Amino acid sequence: MVEFRHITKRFPGVLALDDINIELKPGEVHVLIGENGAGKSTLMKVLSGAYKQDEGELLIDGKVVEKNSPIISSSLGIGMIYQELNLIPELSIMKNIFLGNEKKKGIFDDKKYMYQKSKEYLSMLHLDIDPNTLVKNLGVGTQQMVEIAKAISKNSKVLVLDEPTSSLTDSEIKELFSIIKMLKEKGVGMFYISHRLEELYEVGDRVTIMRDGTKVGTYDLNEIKMDEMIEKIAGRKIENLYPRNRIKHGDCVLEVKNLTGKGFENISLKVYSGEIAGLSGLVGAGRTELARAIFGIDNYTSGEIFVNGVKINKNSTGEAVKAGIGLLPEDRKIQGLALKKNIRENMVITVLSSLGKKGVVNLKKEKEVCQKYVDELEIATPTIEKLAGFLSGGTQQKVVIAKWLMANLKLFIFDEPTRGIDVGAKSEIYRLMDELVAKGAAVLMISSDLPEVLGMSDRIYVMSQGKMTGCLNHDEADQNLVLTYAYNQKEEAV
């Protein structure tokens, strides 16, 4: 259905794609994996006509596409769901689905038809929402589902899904997978990009591994094991993904007492110096809301927060920052990164004061520190002066993480720290987190990645539907126990 022949693509200082050859068969789910910045999204943008290759040929249905563009590729049956959501927030779901593709009745839009059809697509995805709802009023996961509905509505023969599950809940992921299976049976071919390696085996037929713009190889998913895949992605063996030197914890840094607010109820927890406390639960359990309240972004109705024994006032990020708290937000695109600033400027924002004297920034020192993090996290960029907006999706996240890791804080709140991050960089982030607590910091880590929570935490708090349902020591915790609390199937709540 699609063939990339010797595709090469360059950006200033970067060989983003280097002689790539890949084929997509009808009804095949072809998985693309590789480190952040490996070239996955760029290759898909060559297919969609958003980028033009410098060398090589793109074939669709066996025919060379001489001159590609988003309109041409769409007319040839290629549907794209981009990594960055592309919906227009101010328009309704229905308008978004039919954007540029409006059904007409004479000179007017056939609203009744489009409404009906939108409802059909949504119900296929088991979404019970009015198509007239504005997109800006939807959660990120639901927006992702609307993107999918939009792609389905075009009856695409080939569908590209670029990290579709990164912000979906477990049940939404299930829906998505059943849609993929249905499309497969209809003969739709799909490219599927994800950093969540566990799920690939569930949906994929073949996998192509990319590294630094080159193709490492294409494999049958039946024939390649997970650890082999990890080694090929990272280009090295990762012996221990979760490097922890557990130490005896020190004083209590954060104490949350009976906190109640929007999305959570009567929450108490403590995080000590030298400790990583995991906060587990299903998506929607109220963890992000709790974190935002602790950091002072949102208000709460009752309860108290203490940092190092001193009570902090509610709803003041200024006070939280002064107390030494930092929050790595879940939605990094919007909250964490200035796209028009370069990597260095983004990174040093929180440490400016410690890098210079009396407000004068020491540029040399600043560059050294940034370069160190670029190297350690393997941030794919020719220079630290590259604009953040031009980085790959996962690389942008690494920049935000580096910014927080280098800040001198007492308490780090990380909300889904490794979502969308490649497996090699994950292990580096874990190592840096371990270093932070070894130096006496405290970490509260919200994560929906169970192996990560189990591997990294000293203690694991579990929330379910806004309530704290469990607290486990790392030596007594296992996957089943955490899930039991997450689904709140234990009678005894703590």
**Residue among 393, 420, 466, 470 that touches Mg ion (CB under 5 A):** 393
**Subset of residues 392 to 411 that bind ligand ATP, contact rule: CB under 6 A:** 392-395
| Closest to Mg ion by CB, 392 or 448 | 392
Q: Which stretch binds ligand ATP (CB under 6 A): 274-282, 390-398, 466-474, 477-485?
A: 390-398
Long-range contacts at 358-361 (CB < 8 A, ≥ 24 apart): none
Q: What number of other Cβ atoms are within 10 A of residue 343's Cβ?
A: 28
- Rounded distance between C-alpha atoms, residue 346 and residue 337, angstroms: 7
Question: Least distance to ligand ATP from the beta carbon of 13, Å?
Answer: 8
Say whether 198 sits in a helix, a strand or coil: helix
Amino acid at 421: I
Question: Least distance to Mg ion from the beta carbon of 162, Å?
Answer: 6
Given ligand ATP, Mg ion, none, residue 261, with its beta carbon under 5 to 8 Å by kind, binds none
Question: Least distance to Mg ion from the beta carbon of 134, Å?
Answer: 28
Pair 290, 257: CB distance under 8 Å: no
- Rounded distance between C-alpha atoms, residue 81 and residue 105, angstroms: 28
Question: Least distance to ligand ATP from the beta carbon of 43, Å?
Answer: 7
**Residue among 1, 2, 14, 453 that touches ligand ATP (CB under 6 A):** 14
Question: Least distance to ligand ATP from the beta carbon of 38, Å?
Answer: 4
Phi/psi of residue 81, nearest 5 degrees: -120, 105
Given ligand ATP, Mg ion, none, residue 127, with its beta carbon under 5 to 8 Å by kind, binds none
| Number of residues lying near Mg ion (CB under 5 A) | 4
Question: Least distance to ligand ATP from the beta carbon of 51, Å?
Answer: 8
Helix axes of 393-405 and 423-438: crossing angle, nearest 10 degrees = 10
Helix axes of 170-185 and 140-153: crossing angle, nearest 10 degrees = 10
Residue by residue, what is the 3-state secondary structure of 382-414? Answer: CCCCCEHHHCCHHHHHHHHHHHHHCCCCCEEEE
| Closest to ligand ATP by CB, 165 or 395 | 395
Question: Least distance to Mg ion from the beta carbon of 178, Å?
Answer: 25
Q: Which stretch binds ligand ATP (CB under 6 A): 328-336, 387-395, 435-443, 466-474?
A: 387-395
Q: What number of other Cβ atoms are within 10 A of residue 5's Cβ?
A: 16
| Number of residues lying near ligand ATP (CB under 6 A) | 19
One character per residue 188-207, x = contact with ligand ATP (rule: CB under 6 A): --------------------
| Closest to Mg ion by CB, 135 or 161 | 161
| Closest to ligand ATP by CB, 201 or 390 | 390
Question: Least distance to Mg ion from the beta carbon of 420, Å?
Answer: 8
**288 counts as binding ligand ATP under rule CB under 6 A:** no
- Rounded distance between C-alpha atoms, residue 50 and residue 70, angstroms: 6
Q: Which stretch binds ligand ATP (CB under 6 A): 166-174, 308-316, 388-396, 409-417?
A: 388-396
| Closest to ligand ATP by CB, 40 or 249 | 40
Pair 454, 430: CB distance under 8 Å: no
Given ligand ATP, Mg ion, none, residue 131, with its beta carbon under 5 to 8 Å by kind, binds none
Question: What does the DSSP assignment read for 21-83?
Answer: EEEE-TT-EEEEEESTTSSHHHHHHHHHTSS--SEEEEEETTEE-SS--HHHHHHTTEEEE-S
**Subset of residues 73 to 92 that bind ligand ATP, contact rule: CB under 6 A:** 83
Q: What number of other Cβ atoms are within 10 A of residue 446's Cβ?
A: 25
Question: Least distance to ligand ATP from the beta carbon of 179, Å?
Answer: 22
Given Mg ion, ligand ATP, none, residue 487, with its beta carbon under 5 to 8 Å by kind, binds none
Question: Least distance to ligand ATP from the beta carbon of 69, Å?
Answer: 16
**Which CA distances in Å does 44 have to 3, 218, 390?**
12, 16, 16
- Rounded distance between C-alpha atoms, residue 494 and residue 268, angstroms: 10
**Subset of residues 85 to 144 that bind Mg ion, contact rule: CB under 5 A:** none
| Closest to Mg ion by CB, 31 or 436 | 31
**380 counts as binding ligand ATP under rule CB under 6 A:** yes
- Rounded distance between C-alpha atoms, residue 83 and residue 194, angstroms: 10
| Closest to Mg ion by CB, 83 or 142 | 83
Question: Least distance to Mg ion from the beta carbon of 210, Å?
Answer: 10
Q: What are 104's strand-pairing partners? A: 109
Question: Least distance to ligand ATP from the beta carbon of 46, Å?
Answer: 10
**Subset of residues 100 to 129 that bind ligand ATP, contact rule: CB under 6 A:** none
Residue-wise over 124-161: b if at least 16 C-beta within 10 A, else e?
A: ebebebebeeebeebeebbbbbbbbbbbbbbebbbbbb
| Closest to ligand ATP by CB, 214 or 484 | 214
Question: What does the DSSP assignment read for 212-224?
Answer: TTEEEEEEETTT-
Amino acid at 55: E
**Subset of residues 22 to 61 that bind ligand ATP, contact rule: CB under 6 A:** 34, 36-42
**Subset of residues 9 to 68 that bind Mg ion, contact rule: CB under 5 A:** 41
**Subset of residues 292 to 351 that bind ligand ATP, contact rule: CB under 6 A:** none
Q: How far is CA 62 from the centre of its chain?
A: 35
- Rounded distance between C-alpha atoms, residue 154 and residue 183, angstroms: 13
Instruction: Tell me which residue has tokens 């996998």.
Output: 207
The footprint of Mg ion (CB under 5 A) covers 41, 83, 392-393
Residues of this chain that interact with ligand ATP (CB under 6 A) are 11, 14, 16, 34, 36-42, 83, 380, 390-395
